[in-house]
Structure 1
Amino acid sequence: MKGIATSFSWFLATLHFTGTISAFSVQAQVTKPMSNNIGSNALTQTIAQSPAVNPPNFGTALDNNQVVEAVPLIEQTWEKQYQNHLDINFPDQSITVEEIADTLGKITNQTGQKPGLIYMVPRPQQLELVLITPEGKPIHKRVSAANKEALLSLVQEFIQTITNPIRRHSKHYLPVAQQLYQWIIEPVEPDLKAQGINNLIFCLGGGLRHLPFAALHDGQEFLVEKYSLALIPAFKLTDTVYTDLKNSQVLAMGASEFNDHNPLPAVPVELSVITQYPWQGKSFLNKDFTLTNLQWQLGYHKNFQILHLATHSDFQAGKPNKSYIQFWNSKLTLDIFTELRWHSPVVELLVLSSCQTAIGDKEAELGFAGLAVRANVKSAVASLWSVSDGGTLVLMNEFYQSLKTVPIKAEALRQAQIGMLKQKVSLASLTDRPNVSLPPELASLNSEDLSHPYYWAAFTLVGNPW
């Protein structure tokens, strides 16, 4: 949402590439599933004994078709990346395929949604895909055409095409969206269908953590029309406990006026519709949107499980202390998130309706995918690029409406995105609600077409999708 500085580094979760590649010049070449030999006791012993800061090479395990052994090595390797960027020391413990599958099975029983976890590992010569489902046995696919250079160049082209204002009323993004789908979803889709998976969780290697997966396209429909989606930094870094949010209260805060940023005229309406029926909660605007008030509200009431911040966020390249969320009278830099005590009690969901990623910055994508970890919240919803005021207002309204009725958070975001891409919702539909009127700056946008992925694909759920 909103016109923010073009660099965002930290958040969101949620990029290092150059050049572009024609969507038609490279065809996917998918090998047969790799066999899963579980006989390497020596390698397993090495995994258990090795500290997370210096893990063995997962590439060797994948090359030897030792998929069960490779998964904890992937987790340890990526954990080190987040540990270095976020400056957080994580517990030195490994996680196994069996433990992941057991957790996914429990979530299925609790929510009625069946999740599948997909590791995507870009390598110089190919893309490695590892799928884990409640059934337990990991499925490994290798895509030889999607070498690292070709894949990351195509990702860059995809984002540039979607966010290009000149192409906002065209479908120029479709060829690239379909090629990416062919490379990273199609190889495992028969298994997803066979096992009835309807919730996809992506655990991603460098260069992929800022990809708007919702906008990938199979030639008939978008990925988000088929699955609810979420991004995690690593499974062991994710709080996987399920909590039903239907009876939660919302603390919604934001600003529409700034001294050194453009105004955000939609924010007063956004806060109003979020805290109206069917939700209960409090909203604070402009001069009441202070860090002191935020801390007091969370510390005194202790019943806000959802925190919504509608304001400018400037996420710059570099470490978390370079990035901030703008409050009324101060800036909250991301390196002091953990000092806010908004994890006691736990904030189940943090929503940032105005943020943007520095496309091309490696640390930016680590910040984006590691958002929930750094903020000490279970889940976060934020955008990969700056979306229009009106588009954000519509999506947030639909998201909170759906959150009251669907079983998991990722499904609520999915329903909001589908409503926009199918043109079922608009700014005009908001004015049908009682006590809601649009400011003059937005009234002229009543008929704005919000079906293009620019308006809805940026919003990503990071962390626990349930």
Structure 2
Amino acid sequence: MQYLSIIKNTESLLAQISDESQKIVFFDSQIQIYQDYQKDLVNKKKFAQALEISERGRTRVFVESLKERLGISKQETKTWTFNIENIKQVAQSQNATLVEYSIVYEGLYIWVIQPTGNIEFRRSPITEDDLDNLETLILRARVSIGIAEKDNQPLKLNPEEKPRDGHFPWLQYLYDILIAPIADLLPADPEARVIFIPHYALYLVPFASLQNPEGRYLIQDHTPLTAPSIQVLETTHAQQQRLHRTQKKALVVAEPTLHPKFQNNPYNLRSYEYMQEAAQTIARILDTLPIMGDSATKVAVITQMLQTRIVHIFAHGLLDEYQPEDTNLDDIPGTIPGTIVLAPDADSDGALNAAEILDQQINAEIVVLSACSTGKGKITGDGIIGLSRCFILAGVPSLVVSLWNIGAPAAKVLMTEFYQNLANGENRASALRHAMLNTKTRFPKPESWSGFTLIGETQPLTLTTQNIEEALRTMSIPEHATPAAIVKAFTDLFDYYEPQFLSQIQGLDLQPTDSLETLAAKIKAWCQTHPNVEENIENDLSQMGPNDANEEEETPEEIVRRAYEKYLENLNRLGQTNEKQQ
């Protein structure tokens, strides 16, 4: 009982703090007692009670703020009332399997709560050393699928860590430590929802693309979504029930004009390729007109966002890089990381900060943030502090956020499918899953389809859509693409796709003596009869930053040599090498 007494005293002190940011800092400093108590209960095989303490030791300030915004009395929010029976009720009401992770020093605990109320406990086989370096291991997995981790120093992968024939060693490693221990407890029906409750670094995991030893992605067998905690999941459901229907159906924001400060150091932002086309397509589907360019100011976006059912934003997202003029945000108490870069006006540089979102009362049923880093933030014991948290606190019950930029062509296809699926009556989780699977058939690279995650409420959304087929047409390689970019993007395909995806390459006839310009011209000409390959190259070209975060700058000769070696290697694997190429 000593642990429980200390926890109650901690929570009594927490209740006396009025400033939310100070509450988060204090709560984060007290996490050890919750972890110690979990470990003690697990050692005594009191697994259900340990789950209750796991929930009690996360998102405490978040839930308090949510409930106060819902009109629940302040006294009730400060008294712990969420117990094991409440946890079972959430699983039942959601008709979903809940998977809660808890990082407890040398171990990783996993609970599976099924809709029937059955609770099972498992330990992850992760080693203590790997647990100490978990965030780096997750970042290596993300780099291995082609993501440029701009918030960190570039990670260089060893040859054995890189993908081959559609198999990703790091995605399989994460599957082994996060999914394999509980695979027998997950639903057999792939349409049944599995809600993952991450902890600390696990917020960075792209669950949809985790890969089993046979190379099957998690999303092929399950319908995944995430929530910061089971308590937050319960509260977002309540938010959905209290929303009043607004008149305007959709708001689509795209490619806001960038203030000059964001085009220079330290931001160096530029327009995304095809962002406007993708946004115009989504706007037509949702029967509205997009707000773009100079019109996409902070005032205009906030004004419309407050009275719109569906909000879809194509824009740059910053994590904690944004600094107002002559101000260091690190010196301002309560600063929340996360910024959406909108168009400037006379009074603003266009930066819509997370804290400004928090000040709103948003009646949207779902917000989709198609921008880099919108699903990221400062990771604490109270969950991720960033854009996603602020939208939920502002009243949004469902969010689709991005862990990285998947590319405008892929995003256009994925979101077209998503809205079509919603219009067909699918719930939000199933709509996103089926959209990802369909996008995967056209863009097999995990980077191009697994970057989105759904947070919160999943119930169907009444919707009608327009002009679906036109939205799904392929895009071509832009004329201004450099020969080096074209050749590098094409070469990357060999690492990320199964050989059959490029089984026709014997007609390409690349030669070791080709110049960089000749190689690029041959690839572009060949792509005219291979539109699926062309749109994958174009998608890579549309993304910000380098395609491969672990590759150093290459000379033209190195680019040519690597491209020909990959081309010849693939021909050999397919058994299609002829004497000329030998």
TM-score between both structures, scaled by the size of structure 2: 0.58
Q: What letter is aligned with 2:181? A: P
What pairs up with 1:192-271 in 2 under 5 angstroms? 192-193=186-187, 198-218=192-212, 219-238=214-233, 239-241=236-238, 249-255=249-255, 257-259=257-259, 260=263, 261-271=269-279
* Partner residue, 1:341: 361
Secondary structure (helix, strand or coil) at the match of 2:299 reads: helix
User: 2 CA distance for matches of 1:191 and 1:440?
Assistant: 45
| One of 122, 133, 139 as aligned partner of 1:156 | 139
Q: Say if 1:232 and 1:369, in contact at 8 Å, map to a contact too.
A: no
Deviations along 1:238-259, one digit per CA (max 9) or x if unpaired, are 31246799x9822111225424
**1:198 & 1:451 partners in 2: Cα distance?**
34
CA distance in 2, matches of 1:161, 1:120: 24
Q: For 1:98, which of 57, 63, 85 is the aligned residue?
A: 85
What are structure 2's unaligned runs of at least 5 residues?
A: 15-26, 149-155, 264-268, 322-329, 345-349, 449-466, 482-526, 544-582
* AA in 2 matched with 1:423: R
Aligned equivalent of 2:299:
292
Corresponding position of 1:331: 351
Q: Which whole-Å CA distance do the structure 2 matches of 1:225 and 1:453 have between them? A: 23
Deviation, 1:63, is 2.6
Q: d(CA) in 1 for partners of 2:540 and 2:45? A: 37
Cα 1:173–1:104 change in 2 (3 A) is same
Which residue among 142, 145, 153 is the counterpart of 2:126?
145
The correspondence for 1:274, drawn from 275, 279, 282, is 282
Q: Does 1:309 find its partner at 2:325? A: no
Q: Structure 2 counterpart of 1:251, which letter?
A: L
- Helix, strand or coil: the match of 2:340? strand
Contact 2:354/2:390, CA 8 A, preserved across alignment: no
2:383 is aligned with 1:383: no
TM superposition shift of 1:208: 0.7
How much does 1:389 deviate? 2.8
1:47 & 1:98 partners in 2: Cα distance?
Answer: 20
Map 1:353-432 → 2, pairs under 5 A: 353-356=370-373, 362=379, 365-367=384-386, 370=389, 372-423=391-442
Aligned counterpart, 1:180: 174
Q: Name 1:68's counterpart in structure 2.
A: 48
Distance 2:108 2:374 in 1: 24
Distance 1:175 1:125, change over 3 A: same
Contact 1:249-1:306 within 8 A present in 2 as well: yes
Cα distance between partner residues in 1 of 2:356 and 2:270: 25
Alpha-carbon displacement from aligned partner over 1:5-56 (angstroms, at most 9, x marks no partner): xxxxxxxxxxxxxxxxxxxxxxxxxxxxxxxxxxx9x988987887375674
**CA 1:253 to 1:153, structure 2 compared with 1: closer, same or farther past 3 Å?**
closer
For the residues of structure 1 that align with 2:472 and 2:132, how far apart are their CA atoms? 52
For residue 187 of structure 1, report the CA deviation from its aligned partner: 1.6
> Would you say the 8 A contact 1:387–1:454 is kept in 2?
no
- The residue identity in structure 2 corresponding to 1:331 is A
How far 1:226 moved relative to its partner? 1.3
Deviation at 1:372, TM superposition (A): 4.2
Q: Which has the higher contact order (CA 8 A, sep 6+)?
A: 1
RMSD, aligned CA? 4.4
TM-aligned CA distance change 1:357 to 1:324, over 3 Å:
closer
Aligned in 2, Cα 1:288/1:425: closer, same or farther, shift over 3 Å? farther
* 211-220 or 88-97: bigger deviation: 88-97
| Pair 234,138 (structure 1): closer, same or farther in 2 beyond 3 Å | same
2:536 to 444, 449, 453: 449
Deviations 1:283-313, CA, capped at 9 Å, x for gaps:
22222212222333245xx3x2211111111
Q: Structure 1 runs of 4+ off > 6 angstroms?
A: 42-50, 83-86, 165-169, 194-197, 357-361, 424-427, 434-440, 442-445, 450-456
Aligned residue identity for 2:101: M
* CA-CA distance at 1:348 after TM superposition: 1.7
Q: Deviations over 1:399-451 (max 9, x none)?
A: 22222225321222211211122228999xx9951798969849989623389
Gaps of 5+ in 1: 1-39, 109-114, 457-466
Letter of the 2:470 counterpart:
R
The letter of the residue matching 1:255 is: E
The 2-side partners of 1:143 and 1:435 are apart by 41
Q: Does structure 2 conserve the Cα–Cα contact (< 8 Å) formed by 1:431 and 1:437?
A: no
Which residue does the alignment assign to 1:116?
97
- Structure 1 residues 74 and 331 mapped into 2: Cα distance closer, same or farther (>3 Å)? same
Cα distance change of structure 1 residues 434 and 196 upon mapping to structure 2, 3 Å threshold: closer
The answer as to whether partners of 1:354 and 1:386 remain within 8 angstroms in 2 is yes
Provide the aligned length of Structure 1 versus Structure 2.
399
Alpha carbons 1:162, 1:453 under 8 Å: kept? no
Query: For the Cα contact (< 8 Å) 2:409–2:539, is it kept in 1?
Result: no
CA distance in 2, matches of 1:454, 1:181: 29
Greater helix fraction, Structure 1 or Structure 2? 2
| Aligned AA (1:193) | P
Contact 2:273 2:542 in 1 (8 A): no
SS in 2 for 1:255: strand
Shift in CA distance, 453/230, structure 1 to aligned 2, threshold 3 Å: farther
**Partners of 1:416 and 1:226 in 2: how far apart?**
14
Distance 1:192 1:83, change over 3 A: closer
**Counterpart amino acid of 2:202?**
L
User: Helix, strand or coil: the match of 2:100?
Assistant: strand
- Render the CA deviation track for 1:341-369: whole Å, top value 9, x for unaligned: 22xxx222111101227999746954366
Alignment partners' CA distance in 2, 1:293 and 1:119? 39
Contact 1:209–1:366 (CA<8 Å) still a contact in 2?
A: no
- Say whether the 8 Å CA contact 2:338–2:387 is kept in structure 1: no
Separation of aligned partners in 1, 2:438 and 2:221: 14
8 Å CA contact retained: 1:47, 1:73: no
Residues 477 and 538, structure 2, Cα contact 8 Å, conserved in 1:
no
Contact in 2 for aligned 1:357/1:365 (Cα 8 Å): no
Give the C-alpha shift of residue 324 in structure 1. Answer: 1.5
Query: What is the alpha-carbon distance in structure 1 between the residues aligned to residue 39 and residue 469 of structure 2?
Result: 55
How far the C-alpha of 1:211 sits from its partner, in A, is: 0.7
Match of residue 110, structure 2, among 129, 150, 160: 129
Aligned partners of 1:455, 1:217: CA distance in 2, in Å?
26
